[in-house]
Amino acid sequence: MPRTEEKIQEEMCWLIFDPKLEHSNPPWNSSCQVLKSALYSAKSSTKPWGVVPQRVFIQDLAASLNRKQVLPNEKIEEFEQLGYEYMEI
């Protein structure tokens, strides 16, 4: 059974939060809600132009989160793969 948009978003949220921290409670964390909103907005506004702009958005988002030390290096590829899957649904 394919994953839903919501399930993919939740998995992406867990990649940017440390579940060992008490204040980290995706997918209900407000930062996670911002991520979900950004993904939805990017998906809906880039859909007419196809898959390339959507992939570029996901790559840029991952790079930005990494620069801000929110997304660790070892999780970038998984985050991007989930993002691509989300955009293709």
Instruction: Report the predicted TM-score, pTM, of the whole model to 2 decimal places.
Output: 0.88
CB of 86 closer than 8 Å to CB of 5: yes
Q: Domain residues for 65? A: 5-88
Can you tell me the distance from the alpha carbon of 54 to that of 83, in angstroms, rounded to the nearest whole number? 9
- State residue 71 phi and psi, 5-degree precision: -115, 115
Number of structural domains (the chain) is 1
89 residues of the chain, pLDDT tens digit each: 788 999 999 899 988 876 666 555 556 678 888 999 999 999 999 988 888 999 999 999 999 999 999 899 999 999 999 999 999 99
